[in-house]
Amino acid sequence: MFKHLLEEAGMHWEVHVDSAGTIAIHAGASPDSRAAQAARARGIDMGNQTSRMIEARDFVDFDYILAMDNDNYCDLMGRCPPEYQDKVHMMLEYAQSQDFSEVPDPYYGGGKGFTVVLDLIEDASRGLIADIRSRYADKLG
């Protein structure tokens, strides 16, 4: 979703995005079919995406490390070297119109849960793009 919104904002050449998890149980797996279906309904293709574990290097290489829920946030903070902990944030800190603090796990619910999650992520992604524009205006073309 975020890559799609970066393309809309004309920033896809300047911002590198990746996704990683905090547990290895799904490493190498494709997205849940319900997530892929909900994304396709919005014109987003998740066909080439596979999961991977977060690596120590990610804390150095990325300016933002975003957690979807409090458990992931705690896992990330536990792995993150102290000098990079200011990079770790909750995704929904950037939400502009939602009142959630965590992205709910839609896995055990029906397909509607994935639509709600995409709504939350889209809202937060738009706020994150605004934050990137503001923080890095001098580096963006």
Give pTM, 2 decimals: 0.87
| Residue 2 CB-density burial (10 A; 0-12 exposed, 13-18 middle, 19+ buried) | buried
Q: What are phi and psi of 4, to 5 degrees?
A: -60, -45
Residue 141: predicted pLDDT: 62
Tokens of 6: 């970066």
- Class of the domain covering 2-135: alpha beta
Return the half-sphere exposure (C-beta side, CA atoms, 13 A cut-off) of residue 102: 9
Q: What is the pLDDT of residue 32?
A: 81
Largest CA distance in the chain: 44
pLDDT digit string (tens) for 72-124?
999 999 999 999 999 999 999 999 997 889 999 998 877 789 999 999 999 99
